[in-house]
Structure 1
Amino acid sequence: MSSRSGHHHHKPHHHPHDHGRTPARRPAAAAMPASGAGYTIVHAGKQVRFGPLVFWIAVGTVVLLGMWSAATATYFAFRDDVLTRLIARQAEMQYAYEDRISDLRAKVDRTTSRQLLDQEQFDQKLDQIMKRQSALESRATALGSLPDVNVTGSVKPQGRAEAAPASGTAKPSPISDTVIFVAPPDREARLESRTPAAAKAAPSQFAKVQGVDSALVRLQTSLDQVERRQMAALASAEDGVESRLRRMRGVISDLGLNMAQLEAATPRSGMGGPFVPVKLSADAGAFERQLYRININRAQMQRLNQTLALVPYRKPVVGEVEFTSGFGVRTDPFLGRPAMHTGLDFRAAQGDPVRVTANGKVVSAGWAGGYGRMVEVDHGNGLSTRYGHLSEIGVKVGEYVRIGQVIGAVGSTGRSTGPHLHYETRIDGEAVDPQKFLRAGVRLSAG
């Protein structure tokens, strides 16, 4: 090692020749100061002299190398820990970023799921409304085929008058005060709603449309109102048909007529086809069941209409009913003695038209003693009518006549004191009071 001058290992102020006497047992080298400034390193008998600058440079270099070695050792000692912390920090930041992304994705998924759910619910509601609208349209069409049923079937009544049918309502028989059941033309009844406008909305825009739920609620309310009106109209139609059936059956019963015999005597027009039984589906609702009952009753009513077409319960003359003489015992206008009057005398003017009161076949048309000019019509099942004192006869024997057809004109022929119509109703050839049949006609026309 080198050392400064004055170190205890060296003695100061040695001369150069003293070097030769250095004991051989000394180790390798020794630095001795020269005269003046500087350091001398002795090694194996050789001296190397360094100036102070070089010496301190060497010392500084050694110190720097030592510090560098220490720093390097420290770096390598703590590098793994630093790297671990850096990696952990980086991982923590990455995890936080991924957590944030996951949270945002979850929010997007929830929003999308909610929108899809809302859209699905909207589509379901709209589909239900469309199905309900279709059902109400079918119901409105069915109601339109019923007689005397006035239902518009519109969701939003427009307040305009219902258009008149293309063909006018069938005119009543000129023998009024009587009922001839003629079904009016079918009415078109379409469900007019704003549902198609809602259906046209793009499904993806549901979340952006405001008030869609309230619009659906209003539409449902409108459909509820339509359904209530339809059910009320259907109930009214059923009550009307049932009431009319009761009256028709009651009339036949009151007149003492046999329903089976009347039906057997009813002429049949050409008809036919395969038999297809009427069935009511097991899942039919209240509307369908009620409509089924109405259709069954209507079919029965049509049969009764055909049967009652042979019953003379209508008036033979037009206008107010005024009798100049009733049925039964009366004073004979010519002899002044009690006599049996077998019919009703209707007040009428000369030449007024006389109309047949039921379908039938002319069995007599000509002069008949006290009847004067007389027409007799056979209605089948023992029922017949006579029309006397006619001034003119407009039919021939064997001719088939229908209700309300003119068969002659009022006159005063035969045993008569003035223009009037002598009208008789007979059952099995025996005269019965025509008023019994006329009252039945008034009962049928009621309601």
Structure 2
Amino acid sequence: MSKSSAQYSQSPQHHPHDHGRPFNRRPVSAAAAIPAPAESDGYTIVHAGKQVRFAPVVFWIVVGTVVLLGLWSAATATYFAFRDDVLTRLIARQAEMQYAYEDRIAELRAKVDRTTSRQLLDQEQFDQKLDQIMKRQTALESRATALGAMPDVTGSIPRATPPRGSDAGTSSQGTPKPSPISDTVIFVAPPDREARLESRTPAAASPQPNQFAKVQGFDNVLVRLTTSLDNVERRQIAALSAVEDGMESRVRRMRGVVSDLGLNLADLEAAVPRSAMGGPFVPVKLPANAGPFEKQLNRINLTRAELDRLNRTLALVPYRKPVIGEVEFTSGFGVRSDPFLGRPAMHTGLDFRAATGDPVRVTAYGKVVSSGWSGGYGRMVEVDHGNGLSTRYGHLSEIHVKVGEIVKIGQVIGAVGSTGRSTGPHLHYETRIDGDAVDPQKFLRAGVRLSAG
């Protein structure tokens, strides 16, 4: 704004109706008093008589943008100028690599053809060897299946001590078990024939997986396969021998126990209750070409059948404890001083220390023939086990069975008490043969013998 205009705006304005009124001067505004900024700040561009002013920051931003656009244009022009050369060199490089790969493939094909020719020459001999190995593998797998199908032969006799181990296939329960095939054999035959020989692997074995994959040459592979199958066959025979020895030893021990107890095994077997079963009689026959393994397996099956029969027979023999826990006798079998009269008297059983209410269990399979009060026995239960064997349980505080009831091994028939001629809570236990009392410890020792091993 010019100086004259500023002065003009500051001069008073008169109105025709203001004559005669006092003149009041308006105050000058502060904006009018501030001088204009100096024209030297910033940059001025003059074009065609027109001036454009830029602040320093704006000016340098514009200059930088123009420079960047120039560099970008130069780089783009350079790329388009040399692009054709770069593409040409890349295409030539790819062509060279392709030719090299084709040469390599041709070389490998020729090598494969030579190898295939050699394989075809030996194919007939290789097939014969492979057929033999496959047949042997099939036989070993059949044996492994037979071994794995053999049930546990521990029977119903409880184990009192840890079992003794065996070098060839024993179970944690003390009965030798077969060890299945422990080698896994995978063989890749030529393209026209594939042969896969596999066998089950037990948890105890740790063969190297794909151990034949690194073997070069069919002959070496066949040799290793044969060696592996030999090892499997030896382990199977060892396992089968251990099973047979264990079962035969157990049968001898059970027969010896029956003999030591003075019992007639035939009479005991006749008294065994028969379960509901039947079917036609088919005698066991071995094939004419049966080998040693099949013959040994047949012997084991016969021994196992005998062992099962003895287990059922011994279920009628009271060789187990009538009370649970550690055995502690307060009075043994035989002559003793009578606790009431103080005179020598015959004690016909064993007195087991126990607390009132402790469960009393039957020691063998049988039938209850007496249940109730019986003179000096107090509350008493008598069980007939057949073939002249019977057991008595006296001084009971409670009776849980009735006359005529069939009881099984370990079934609770009453509770410990102090009824009858008794000085305190305990169990009076008797074993009788043909009505005559015999020492129960004889049967208990037989049970220890049966459970050991």
Classify the TM-score, shorter chain: 0.5 to 0.7
Q: Is the 8 A contact 2:319 2:445 kept in 1?
A: yes
- Cross-structure match for 1:220: 226
- Cross-structure match for 1:248: 254
Letter in 2 for 1:377: V
Correspondence for 2:302 among 296, 299, 307: 296
Equivalent residue runs for 1:196-345 within 5 Å: 197-203=186-192, 210-345=216-351
Q: What is the SS of the residue equivalent to 2:228?
A: helix
Alignment CA distance shift 1:201-1:326 (3 Å): farther
Letter in 1 for 2:191: A
Q: Is the 8 A contact 2:180 2:236 kept in 1?
A: no
Q: What is the SS of the residue equivalent to 2:427?
A: strand
Q: TM-score with structure 1 length normalisation? A: 0.64
Matched, 1:419 2:415: no
The offset of 1:418, in angstroms, is 1.3
Query: What per-residue deviation string (whole Å, max 9, x for no partner) do you get for residues 30-65 of structure 1?
Result: xxxxxxxxxxxxxxxxxxxxxxxxxxxxxxxxxxxx
Letter in 1 for 2:371: A
The offset of 1:117, in angstroms, is 5.8
The offset of 1:406, in angstroms, is 0.9
Letter in 2 for 1:427: I
Q: Is the 8 A contact 1:390 1:408 kept in 2?
A: yes
- Cross-structure match for 2:438: 432
The offset of 1:240, in angstroms, is 0.5
Distance 2:180 2:451 in 1: 31
- Cross-structure match for 1:393: 399
Alignment CA distance shift 1:204-1:399 (3 Å): closer
Matched, 1:441 2:447: yes
Query: What per-residue deviation string (whole Å, max 9, x for no partner) do you get for residues 206-260 of structure 1?
Result: 9xx9322222222222222221111111111111100000011111111111111
Q: What is the SS of the residue equivalent to 1:227?
A: helix
- Cross-structure match for 1:13: none
Alignment CA distance shift 1:334-1:267 (3 Å): same
The offset of 1:392, in angstroms, is 1.1
Distance 2:301 2:193 in 1: 46
The offset of 1:113, in angstroms, is 10
Letter in 2 for 1:293: R
Q: What is the SS of the residue equivalent to 2:187?
A: helix
Letter in 1 for 2:310: L
Letter in 1 for 2:251: L
Report the structure number with the largest CA radius of gyration. 1
Query: What per-residue deviation string (whole Å, max 9, x for no partner) do you get for residues 344-401 of structure 1?
Result: 1111122111111110001111111111111100000110000111111111111101
Alignment CA distance shift 1:201-1:315 (3 Å): farther
Give the CA RMSD over aligned residues: 3.2
The offset of 1:297, in angstroms, is 0.6
Query: What per-residue deviation string (whole Å, max 9, x for no partner) do you get for residues 158-181 of structure 1?
Result: xxxxxxxxxxx99986x968x9xx
Letter in 2 for 1:144: G
Unaligned runs of 5+ in 2: 1-114, 164-172, 196-214
Distance 1:128 1:428 in 2: 65
Identity %: 78
Equivalent residue runs for 1:348-427 within 5 Å: 348-427=354-433
Matched, 1:130 2:119: no
Alignment CA distance shift 1:114-1:343 (3 Å): same
Distance 1:226 1:343 in 2: 55
Q: Is the 8 A contact 2:178 2:240 kept in 1?
A: no
Distance 1:425 1:276 in 2: 41
- Cross-structure match for 1:146: 150
Letter in 1 for 2:303: N
Q: What is the SS of the residue equivalent to 1:213?
A: helix
Letter in 2 for 1:403: I
Distance 1:349 1:172 in 2: 27
Q: Is the 8 A contact 1:148 1:237 kept in 2?
A: no
The offset of 1:146, in angstroms, is 2.6
Query: What per-residue deviation string (whole Å, max 9, x for no partner) do you get for residues 402-440 of structure 1?
Result: 111111111111111111111100001110011111111
Distance 1:122 1:391 in 2: 81
- Cross-structure match for 2:23: none
Alignment CA distance shift 1:383-1:170 (3 Å): closer
Distance 1:212 1:446 in 2: 52
Q: Is the 8 A contact 1:141 1:188 kept in 2?
A: no
Letter in 2 for 1:237: V
Distance 1:326 1:404 in 2: 23
Letter in 1 for 2:233: E
Q: Is the 8 A contact 1:141 1:189 kept in 2?
A: no
Distance 1:254 1:381 in 2: 16
Distance 1:302 1:145 in 2: 16
